[in-house]
Structure 1
Amino acid sequence: MTENTSSSVGVIRVGDDAYQDLSVRGINKRFTAEPEAFHVVTGTEQVVNAVREAVRDGKRIAVRSGGHGYENMVGDPAVQVVIDLGEMREVSFDPERKAFAVEPGVRMADLYRTLYERWGVVLPAGDSATVGVGGHVAGGGFGSLCRSAGLAADHLLAVEVVVVDASGDVRTVVATRDPADPHHDLWWAHTGGGGGNFGIVTRYWFRSPDATGDDPREALPRPPASVLTGTVLFNRESLSRTALRTLVGNFGRWHENNSAPDSPYTALFSGLVLFGRPREGDPGMGAVAFVHVDATRPDADRLMSDYVSELTAGLGDFPAVLPTEVVPWLEAKKALAQAQDAEIGRQKVKSAFLRRGYSDDQIDTLYDYLDSTDHSNDSSLVSLQSYGGRVNAVAGDATASAQRDSVIQAFFMNTWQDEKLDETNVDWMRRLFRDLYAKTGGVPVPGEENDGCYINFPDTDMADPEWNTSGVSWEELYYKGNIARLREIKAKWDPRNVFRHTLSIRSEG
């Protein structure tokens, strides 16, 4: 951190050396945070003091850990104080709780390396290297190990939260998984209720529900020592409308048939990334499928080959199936992160949970938008990723993460660099999503085929009646039947609505 010319250490104001760096730290370059002050905190006491000062002075607060928020929650002009948790990066084993204590500013890459190299364990969380633990876990947290080990929030034992009561008193509360804990509801809210809703998380403790004993090496799942990786390339010129129907249909049907909690295919995680046509020059790749299988399984080669065969069935010989490779688990995780973090710039994202694969009509919509040349983006993609497995072994109300019988998680991203192209590119993404879900009011309404949206990919369009004509509220899309309980918890733990943003939970419907 550069030298601070303000009166208080850790408080960065307009004109201070580090202010500009903190303003642009977010992943989505459409948004810049310009509050009166950033509080760069390094411990719980500093968070308490920062919140107490803001509440006393009537200042609007926003909180940030990794800076991966895709919507303008932190950069909202109404925000006057940003409490930045990015320097709270400690990972340790707490022998009293027999759990791993993790601060909210820890990035995923550092968390994986520390847990694996020191204790041989893993938290089954997201794949981006730079996502912070803070908001990610509060939103549920899924990644390439979710089918075999569930969500990150499924392993949450306890959470330390800075809260504000009705009188404005600021205090720290530790809430646990124990149903007898009087603060249990606050723990539950942080297993999928999303960040910035109830207070500020200053520490998580992780221990699997079925863990026994005192050994840290048994407190969380062990990842496979090595991973069998596979890649299939689909060139754009061969990926016709009919071929895309076949490919996306194959991906959907396979996941419909192989995503039960007890399926042997919980050892397999795959993604199918469909790319938009570049504006000019090289036509680019049409799609890429990647596959990870636990290489320590004696049937790993068969699981891989059977999956690739089903994925490419009916497509002839144009898919390029690259040779498989066995790599150490941590290296495989790094490769996923490099691919996921490649898109940098101004962005608009959307998400959906799928209980069934897309219909031919929906695939045609994807084809029309992704193959079009009348847009101005630098890159666009639709990423379909494996879901289900052990995620679906948990009841929908056992945690705040309500989507517990989906089989695919869909992520939509449009990226560009020029600020002048914001309106055009946001509109392109909005129209794609609206037309894809035209039969359900432009959004993935929970039902036989869809299961709503993922709060860690927030999208304010879900609260906009122009783009959500379904009659289903944005809260129901993200939280389904859990929203009533989340509203009660919000009213109890944040009665003054100190912690709020565009998509924060309201105390009343």
Structure 2
Amino acid sequence: MKMVTLRMKLLPLLFILFNSVWSTTSNSATQSFLHCFTSHFHIQNFNTSSKIIITKNSSAYSSVLESSIRNLRFLNPSTPKPEAIITPLHGSHVQAAIICSKKEGILIRIRSGGHDYEGLSYVSETPFIIIDLFNLRSIDIDIENESAWVESGATIGEFYYAIAQKSKVYGFPGGICHTVGVGGHISGGGFGTLFRKYGLAADNVLDAKIVDVNGRVLDRKSMGEDLFWAIRGGGGSSFGVILAWKLRLVAVPPSVTVYRESKTIEQGATKFVSKWQVIADRIPEEHFLRLLVQVANGAGKNDGKTITVVFDFMFLETFEKLLPWMQDNFPDLCLDQTKFTEMSWIESVLYFEGLPSNEVDVLLQRTEPSKRFFKAKSDYVTEPISEAGLEDLWQRMLQLEASELILTPYGGRMREISASETPFPHRKGNLFEIQYLVFWNDDKETEKNIGWLRRLYASMAPYVSKSPRAAYLNYRDLDLGRNKDADTSYAEASIWGLKYFKNNFRRLVHVKTLVDPGNFFRDEQSIPVFPLDGKIECQEQLDWFV
């Protein structure tokens, strides 16, 4: 009884303290949100509360906001800023934020690692708050049951590090960049060096905890299989706030083998790429052979510039077992044993990110040493690109030095999983994926660089997937289309939705309509809802899908 009385006495005081720094920059809705929020969660003291609620006048506001902004395109004075940042210490704080923002009609953005390519986890043209999950990053590794519970605010690097501390023969098929947040990465699909063997990160989700639009914490059983299906590749932020994932750990050998070799176009790189793309989806599932295509200095005829292709391989076997396969498939590459390195799986994680293989602790660093402006796009290739097509691509890349392509092979386990198993549809029939990237360091160069990338993307239309021209959700691209407002129709959202999800898009809209009929969780590329009178029909449609 005393605790209740103390809490009731603290509430008015806390509201006065917060209101004094809030009211100078916020409207009545945000003040009402603050009052509502402080009345919902268990308050210990003002210092703790001030760490959870960060207003524009807080000394920590800028540092917290900017800490997870990875793209300088969204770090300038003209970028819209949140009214406040909520940094939950417990799931109940997320529940309170959702209940109160819904009550007061305030938009929310949900951020785990801040790697959304278009900044949708921390930018909005409408007044908004950010729920930043970086304090919710506990990791519980259960080697005996080959699983782990990982909170959404953890990074992929922190998760990999935790696995390695418990075992040298387990890993996880997540991404390569260690600062990516687990929450968004897995909800969009997630892939890395192990995905041809084990599928996507989303394919290895066993359970999840999500706060829904009504502020309820749901697990797989209580949310139901339709919502559980939707958040594994359909983008979790359309459906709620994912608090944690239960993930399947996968077996890795004590030692893996890595190989790296570079070829310029003058050294015959185009021939190698042509050979690679023919076999990309048919190589053994234990092999990961990606290509990095970059502009480099050279002695060619292109103003001292050339195209370099980096052959970046990882194999889940020893050099002795691997060599015969390499000799059969890539005899013209340098196959001297010194080009191959055997290392542990966790060391290979560092290797592929270009980090020192003996500095495992770097995986615990959540920030990056430098930030750049960048823009990205993606494509899926279903038929080999002709040599003429490749040569045209090289010439276009030579026009802009800071451009880069990443070609990721599909096949293996990805070919065996049904396109409707999760919302991620890019399975059988895809040879490889292309990620297009362009980087720059001066805001004045933004228009030029984005324009160049758009023209390059348009020129690739004859060589990539069609009807729809597919794209990967985690390489978010607002050029594909955007929602106009909360009432965006299915037909309007299909312009971009079918590219990310193909035939799974309609089912995602049915799920969204059932779990969030008012479209509270929304952004420029969130899943839309059908008209409210179609809710019963949506349930009937979902029964048909199942």
TM interval, shorter chain, is 0.7 to 0.9
Question: Counterpart amino acid of 1:151?
Answer: L
Cα distance in 1 between the residues matched to 2:251 and 2:447: 45
Residue 34 of structure 2: aligned partner: none
Note if 1:273 corresponds to 2:316: no
Correspondence for 1:252 among 267, 273, 277: 277
Note if 1:204 corresponds to 2:245: yes
Higher RCO (C-alpha 8 Å, min separation 6): 1
| More displaced stretch, 184-193 vs 277-286 | 277-286
Query: Are residues 272 and 11 of structure 1, via their aligned partners in 2, closer, same or farther at CA, if it must alter by over 3 Å?
Result: same
Correspondence for 1:395 among 402, 409, 418: 418
- Relative to the length of structure 2, the TM-score reads 0.77
Alignment of 1:420-431 (within 5 A): 420-431=444-455
Residue 130 of structure 2: aligned partner: 82
Question: Counterpart amino acid of 1:31?
Answer: F
Deviation track 1:45-101 (CA, whole Å, cap 9, x = no partner) reads 111111112112211110000111110312123251000011211111479998421
Cα distance in 1 between the residues matched to 2:467 and 2:171: 31
- Which has a greater percent of helix? 2
Note if 1:235 corresponds to 2:264: yes
**What's the offset of the Cα at 1:492?**
1.0
Cα distance in 1 between the residues matched to 2:393 and 2:530: 37
Note if 1:461 corresponds to 2:479: yes
Q: Percent identity of the aligned residues? A: 27
- Corresponding pairs, count: 455
Deviation track 1:244-263 (CA, whole Å, cap 9, x = no partner) reads 542321121121443xxxxx
Residue 213 of structure 1: aligned partner: none
Cα distance in 2 between the residues matched to 1:422 and 1:409: 25
Equivalent residues of 1:146, 1:388 under 8 A apart: no
Residue 324 of structure 1: aligned partner: 340
Residue 372 of structure 2: aligned partner: 345
Note if 1:363 corresponds to 2:379: no
Query: Are residues 464 and 80 of structure 1, via their aligned partners in 2, closer, same or farther at CA, if it must alter by over 3 Å?
Result: closer
Cα distance in 2 between the residues matched to 1:404 and 1:86: 32
Question: Counterpart amino acid of 2:431?
Answer: V
Query: Are residues 18 and 156 of structure 1, via their aligned partners in 2, closer, same or farther at CA, if it must alter by over 3 Å?
Result: same
Residue 54 of structure 2: aligned partner: 12
Note if 1:171 corresponds to 2:216: yes
**What's the offset of the Cα at 1:420?**
0.7
State the secondary structure of the residue aligned to 1:367: helix
Residue 157 of structure 2: aligned partner: 109
Cα distance in 2 between the residues matched to 1:224 and 1:428: 43
- Relative to the length of structure 1, the TM-score reads 0.82
| More displaced stretch, 428-437 vs 16-25 | 16-25
Equivalent residues of 2:295, 2:397 under 8 A apart: yes
Equivalent residues of 1:248, 1:358 under 8 A apart: no
**What's the offset of the Cα at 1:294?**
1.3
Deviation track 1:190-222 (CA, whole Å, cap 9, x = no partner) reads 111023211110011123xxxxxxxxxxxx211
Alignment of 1:217-232 (within 5 A): 220-232=249-261
Cα distance in 1 between the residues matched to 2:337 and 2:494: 42
Cα distance in 1 between the residues matched to 2:522 and 2:223: 24
**What's the offset of the Cα at 1:231?**
1.1
Question: Counterpart amino acid of 1:100?
Answer: A
Deviation track 1:424-481 (CA, whole Å, cap 9, x = no partner) reads 01111111011111x38xx74257xxx711101110111179xxxxx97211110011
Unaligned runs of 5+ residues in structure 2 are 1-17, 23-45, 357-367, 484-492, 532-546
**What's the offset of the Cα at 1:170?**
2.1
Question: Counterpart amino acid of 2:112?
Answer: S
Query: Are residues 229 and 343 of structure 1, via their aligned partners in 2, closer, same or farther at CA, if it must alter by over 3 Å?
Result: farther
**What's the offset of the Cα at 1:352?**
1.6
**What's the offset of the Cα at 1:327?**
1.6
Question: Counterpart amino acid of 2:203?
Answer: D
| More displaced stretch, 421-430 vs 346-355 | 346-355
